[in-house]
Amino acid sequence: MRRIRFTVAYDGTDYHGWQVQPGLETIQGTLERVFMEIEGGPVHVAGSGRTDAGVHALSQTAAVSLANPIPLENLRRAINRQLPPAIRVLTVEEAGPDFHPRHHAVSKTYEYRIFRGEVCPPHEWRYVHHYPYPLQVEQMMALAPLLEGQHDFAALAAADDRELESTVRTIFFSRLEFAGDRMTYCVTGSGFLKHMVRNIVGMLLEAGKGNLDAAGLRTFLEPGCARRAGPTAPAKGLFLMRVDYGG
């Protein structure tokens, strides 16, 4: 049995997230159907994490175990011939038999894209949060780095993730950049809770509206904070950029 590690990119607009869900089109479910055709039997595709419905990926890492001896490059071509255009396998390689894309990941990087112009171009609409209203951008840019370090992110998690044994995560990089009509929030961390990045963006937007300062942000990072930090930004502006494994 071969362990195949691969990277996949996808437009998540028409999918109900990564994870298999009965009766719904998902990224994982679509990949498993295609790999099953090649393998001639059931397969399980493991991902580095579960993206929400409507979230996109430029490079998601996944793995699958196959008995089929098909050469790697032929495997990549065969998969992409059968996948819908919104999903593409970018690279394939042999991996150790115990490789798991989630358990072995060192960090993940996400981008959240906001379009600030009055009129959002149609070709951008599916991939940005259109927010043309006044914002204190300098305040948002100043607060973004305060998220770096190890913190309890319970206030920035979805309700079901707040019940996890630990909601502590480490953020290595957190920056907001602004150029022309586009605002981009970039964050790299050891791992992320459900809705965490989208909730961070929602919190930064509240800061841009003048509703949150540095002291207020820090209260949301205090252990055991029972408050919820701002609204959840729409899924369509979020992209998983890459997953890193060190070494």
Is 90 exceeded by the pLDDT of residue 165? no
Which residues does 75 contact at the CB level (< 8 Å), separation at least 6?
Answer: 4, 38, 68, 92
Nearest to 245 by CA among 28, 62, 92: 62
Q: Which residue blocks in 104-144 are alpha helix, DSSP H?
A: 137-143
**Could you tell me the domains of the chain?**
2-95 (3.30.70.580), 107-244 (3.30.70.660)
Query: Residues 165-172: what's their mean pLDDT?
Result: 91
Q: Which residue blocks in the chain are alpha helix, DSSP H?
A: 27-39, 72-82, 137-143, 196-208, 214-220
The token pair at 57 is 């990926």
Which member of 14, 52, 152, 181 is catalytic? 52
pLDDT in tens, 121-139: 999 999 999 999 999 999 9
- The verdict on whether 52 is a catalytic residue reads yes
pTM equals 0.95
pLDDT in tens, 85-116: 999 999 999 999 999 999 999 999 999 999 99
pLDDT in tens, 137-147: 999 999 999 99
Give the angle subtended at the CA of 155 by the CAs of 150 and 159, to the nearest 5°.
125
**What whole-number percentage of the chain has pLDDT above 70?**
98
